[in-house]
Structure 1
Amino acid sequence: MKVFIGGIATETNSFAPLPTGMISFEEGMIAHGDATAKQAEPFSAPLHFWRRMAKAAGHEVIEGLFAYAQPGGPTVKPVYEELRDELLQNLKDAGEVDVVLFGMHGAMIADGYDDCEGDIISRARQICGEKTIIGAELDPHCHLTERMLENANLLVCFKEYPHTDIPERAEELFGLAVSAAEGATKPVMADFDCRMICAYHTPREPMRGFVDAMKAAEGKDGVLSLSLAHGFPWGDSPRVGTRMVAIADGVASLAQRTAETFGRKLFDMRWELKREYPDLHEALDQAQKLKGPVVLADTADNPGGGASSDATFMLAEVLRRGLADVAMGLFWDPIVVRICREAGEGAELDLRLGGKCSPMSGDPVDIRAKVMAIRDDVQQHFGPTPSPIGNAVWLRTNGVDLIVNDIRTQTFHPEAFTAMGVDLAACHMVVVKSSQHFYAGFSPIASEVIYVATPGSITPDFKIIPYTKRERNYWPVVEDLEL
């Protein structure tokens, strides 16, 4: 059996100020058929698993382009087309293949393309014909489109948020694809529109029970796989929103019925799922009353959702209040990193930090800071795989410790601080620029976790996102919605 692996992955925030161009992909990863020869990173990790599993089973592996960029604004059209065309040419050059496995995000939008994944999968189908099994592993924050469903045989989303199950879903997709290629199963997919836009944090109830129920139903009574596509709320797509997808063995009505059953179950839980976040003033008031370390999530400046990661709203308020024993990061400010690297450890400098990318970043904050540490090529872990931070500096100003780096990435793990020398156990508050992926790493050390409705380009208020391509007929905009 011949297995082709590759993919293009990024998540597009239509309202973010940062275009996604070739530099963003080069900073993330561009591998011309050799991603599995490089260190596994979160989005390239599935290719490593697929190659390993295929080789173990004696299958031939053809590896094409894999490209990944940190989430940002829409991808520049010529950049998308260049990468897409290389990937598809790789597929053509591979000749007849039995299985195609793509590592994708599912919420990639480029100039002129609302559905990049659907575009790639449909073109791959034209190249391969109907006999080839085409599957994709997707981030649940995807736009599950008709074009994707019509042209793929298998779409499998991570089940967990934070995404701690990327390896498991890669293994699941591989097993389903090989089984189908061997003729042991005949997968058919169906989706159900839950007409919801919400955040689904799977470590806590009621989502914990919902995910466990999905897992329990798989492999029984003809149900092969279940995925919840949460949707990416800040992508201006006609299909933005939550959809349930079921894959059944040969029976389309079973797939449709199962997707609807689980979709309605989720819809019935909607009021339990809705959470109101305190604004930064309320959040800091709460944190000041609690024993530390209190972890506060600066949700609206999460670069993992396309934000700039240089917003200063929280920093400005912490300094205004004169709070001490506070650690904050990761601030994306290559200019500050450069200045500190020039000055060296121990230097005391006047610095203008953050607030550079757009009004959604707030105003720059002027500080007098000591350079406590400088580190090159710093990494943190996202689940089992390392993720680069780049060059980073630890600054201390008025009892506040700041980690500033030069690769835009969210804060996944306490290593983002401890690798620089910061003792988080001694902190009263730890502010992380992340929406939820921080949780797996930080919750074990936190006395309390507070999600903060900070200003920025990833508002947690799903009622006010200014869509131009999606009708406003979803919950919670329509509170008395009926399916």
Structure 2
Amino acid sequence: MRIVSGGIQHETNTFSHQPTTLADFERDSGCGPDFSGGQAVFDRYRNTGTIHGGYIDAADVLEFDLIPLICAKAQPSGVVESTAFDTILNLFLDRLSETPAVDGVLLDLHGAMVTAACDDGEAPFMEAVRERVGPDIPIIATLDLHANITQRMADACDVIIGFDTYPHVDMRARGREAGELLVRMIRGEVQPVQAYRQLPLLTMPPMQCTLREPMQSLMQNVFRMEDEPGVLTATVAMGFPFADISAAGVSCLVTTNNDAALAEKKVEELAGWLWDLRDELQPQLTPIDEMIEFAATHDGPIVYADGSDNPGGGAPCDGTVVLRALIEAKFQNAVVGILHDPETAALAHQAGVGATIEARVGGKTDDRHGTPIELPAYVRALCDGHFVHHGPMNQGVVGEFGPMALLLVGGVEVVVSSNRKQLLDREMLRVIGVTPEHRRLIVVKSAVHFRADFGECATHILDADTPGIHRPDYANYDYQNLRRPIYPLDNVTVDFGG
């Protein structure tokens, strides 16, 4: 049995002015500038907490030949340039054509990609693969919980399996599930029938977190549904609201074994559960001054999640609003990170540990996340930025920040890096000499993913009320292409399951 795998992953923030280029994919994919498949993918992802880690697990257990063709990804940012998308798609299709006797396809996609040519970035990829392999070869796609799933996507694949967790700690399990289900399809043991629903509903990242209510209880209901006779898998996609496209928002799918009526009944039931939670899924934010007052009188470590500047959602990750407030308040024993500031990192490396540099920190990308802070800063530590994820998310995957520096300004430590990455793993601070458990306050450039690892040590977690292109506040965005009416922007009446 021969199964090919691969795909392109990008979460596109259309409110970002930074286009996503082919060079971004070449830098972030980790399999060489030629997007090597085959052994390069096995070497990078075997025994890791990733979708391809799960594909490889399934291949090992079920003894099928897995042939990874390409695994391309770039950090979330603005619209993907057509040259980048076309190059990666054509590489995948060319390698697919060169692979004989393919029995099935596993597509490792995100679901919230927007390209210069198409708001629904994944659908053309899926459709091109379907056209190449024909109608009889089964295709399963794995998508992120933030996917803006469309009917085109659902029609192009036999099955879509979405992540069940946010933070995304179940990627390996979902990849394994996809591989196992595809084998059952190839053997003729099951005949999946998939039903899809899109809700007139937008939600923001903080309350999409499956470690807190109401998502925690919702997902328990989803798991119980998946245990019912005839149900093969169920997916809740909470959507990515920072994409001004028609399809942005919540959707769900249920796949049954050759029972279309059951699939329709169950997806309507699932949509109803989601709709009933619409008011509970709206976030509450804590202003900076309230956070500082709270942190000064409570034991740490307290985590302040600056999700508005979250690079995991396309933000520049060099915002200075919280840092400036902490410096002005003369706050003690705080660390802010990780700011994407190659210029400051290079200056610190030139000066060396123990030097004091005249720094111009952050605020270099745009004017929506704060202005640069000019100040003397003590260089406490330097490193090359090479680390391995130790936390539950992406466990085992090698990461590269490039040259990093730990700066000290009064009682505030600032971590700067040369590459833009979300702070979601304590190892990302340990690599530069910071022990997060020993800090009173940790300001993370992250919305939710940090909870997977930092949640174990945090005494309190507060969602930041800060400016930025990933701010969880609908008033921050001028939607022009989003379908309307949609809740909570509009009054909407709908009766799922009625």
TM-score category of the 2 structures, normalised to the smaller one: over 0.9
One-letter amino acid of the structure 2 residue matched with residue 147 of structure 1: R
Q: Give the AA of the match of 2:257.
A: D
Match of 1:50 in 2: 55
| Contact 2:197/2:251 (<8 A) preserved | yes
- Does residue 1:223 correspond to 2:223, yes or no? no
1:361 Cα shift? 2.7
1:175-214 → structure 2 map (5 Å cutoff): 175-198=180-203, 199=205, 200-214=208-222
Aligned counterpart, 1:478: 490
Give yes or no for contact 1:118–1:148 (8 Å, CA) kept in 2: yes
**CA shift at 1:438, angstroms?**
0.2
Instruction: Map 1:34-183 onto structure 2 (within 5 A).
Output: 34=38, 35-40=40-45, 45-183=50-188
Kindly provide the amino acid, as one letter, of the partner of residue 21 in structure 1: T
Q: Structure 2: how far apart are the matches of 1:310 and 1:157? A: 31
Q: What is the CA–CA distance in structure 2 between the aligned matches of 1:453 and 1:187, rounded to whole Å?
A: 44
Q: CA deviation at 1:36?
A: 2.2
Could you say which residue in structure 1 is the equivalent of 2:472? Answer: 460
- In structure 2, the residue matched to 1:424 is 436
Normalising by structure 1, report the TM-score. Answer: 0.96
**C-alpha displacement of 1:384:** 1.9
- Matched AA of 2:396: T
Cα distance, 1:6–1:383 mapped onto 2, change above 3 Å: closer
Distance 1:158 1:104 in 2: 11
**Where does 1:408-447 land on structure 2 (aligned, <5 Å)?**
408-447=420-459
Q: Distance in 2 between the 1:357 and 1:47 partners?
A: 33
Give the alignment partner of residue 287 of structure 2, picking from 279, 289, 292. 279
Give 1:43 shift. 9.7
Letter of the 1:140 counterpart: L
Matches of 1:41 and 1:305, distance apart in 2: 26
The within-5 A match list for 1:341-420 is 341-379=349-387, 381=389, 382-386=393-397, 387-420=399-432
The superposition leaves residues 39-63 of structure 1 with CA deviations (integer Å, 9 ceiling, x where unpaired) of 2299993223323422443322322
Q: Which runs of 5+ in 2 are unaligned?
A: none
Compared CA separation, residues 392 and 294, structure 1 to 2 (3 A): same
**Kept after mapping to 2: 8 A contact 1:16/1:73:** yes
Amino acid paired to 1:344: G
CA RMSD of aligned residues (A): 1.8
Identity of aligned residues (%): 30
- Of 158-167 and 46-55, deviating more is 46-55
User: Higher mean Cα deviation, 377-386 or 136-145?
Assistant: 377-386
Q: Distance in 2 between matches of 1:41 and 1:72?
A: 27
Change (3 A) 1:161 1:305: same
Counterparts of 1:249 and 1:2 in 2: how far apart (Å)? Answer: 23
AA matched with 2:37: G
Deviation at 1:467, TM superposition (A): 2.1
Distance 1:234 1:183 in 2: 41
Residues 1:20 and 2:23 are matched in the alignment: no
Comparing 364-373 with 52-61, which one deviates more in the overlay?
52-61
> Within 1, Cα distance between the matches of 2:484 and 2:188?
43
Asked whether the equivalents of residues 167 and 448 of structure 2 are also in contact (C-alpha less than 8 Å), the reply is yes
Distance 1:288 1:476, change over 3 A: farther
Q: CA deviation at 1:383?
A: 4.3
Task: Say how many residue pairs are matched.
Answer: 483
User: For 1:385, what is the secondary structure of its paired residue?
Assistant: coil
2:15 counterpart letter in structure 1: F
Alignment correspondent of 1:329: 337
Equivalence for 1:299 = 307
Q: Secondary structure at the match of 2:325?
A: helix
Alignment check: 8 A CA contact 2:54 2:173 kept: no
Mean Cα deviation higher: 188-197 or 118-127 = 188-197
Query: Shift of residue 237 of structure 1?
Result: 2.0
1:57-100 Cα deviation digits (max 9, x unpaired):
33223221211101110111111111111111111221341110
Paired residue secondary structure (1:160): coil
Structure 2 Cα separation of the partners of residues 209 and 138 of structure 1: 21
2:22 touches 2:83 (CA, 8 Å); kept in 1? no
Q: Is the 8 A contact 2:406 2:415 kept in 1?
A: yes
Structure 1 residues 479, 317: closer, same or farther in 2, change over 3 A?
farther
| Aligned-pair CA distance for 1:471 | 2.3
Aligned-pair CA distance for 1:128: 0.8
Amino acid at match of 1:414: R
Asked if structure 2 preserves the Cα contact closer than 8 Å seen for 1:45 and 1:385, the reply is: no
Q: Distance in 2 between matches of 1:477 and 1:122?
A: 32
Mapped partners of 1:159, 1:151: distance in 2? 22
**Range with bigger deviation, 279-288 or 370-379:** 279-288
8 Å CA contact 2:385–2:431 kept in 1: the answer is: no
Shift of the 43–93 alpha-carbon distance from structure 1 to 2, 3 Å rule, reads farther
Residue 232 of structure 1, CA deviation: 0.6
Unaligned runs of 5+ in 1: none
Secondary structure of the 1:6 match is strand
SS of alignment partner, residue 435 of structure 1: coil
2:68 is paired with a residue of what secondary structure?
A: strand
AA aligned to 1:8 is: I
Q: Distance in 2 between matches of 1:2 and 1:219?
A: 29
- Give the C-alpha shift of residue 284 in structure 1: 2.6
Does structure 1 conserve the Cα–Cα contact (< 8 Å) formed by 2:57 and 2:176?
no
What secondary structure does 1:32 align onto?
coil
Per-residue deviation, 1:277: 0.9
Q: Tell me if structure 1 keeps the 8 A contact 2:54–2:171.
A: no
Is the 1:354–1:361 contact (alpha carbons within 8 Å) kept by the matching residues of 2? no
On the 8 A contact 1:347/1:370 being kept in 2, the answer is yes
For 1:257 and 1:329, the matched residues in 2 are separated by 46
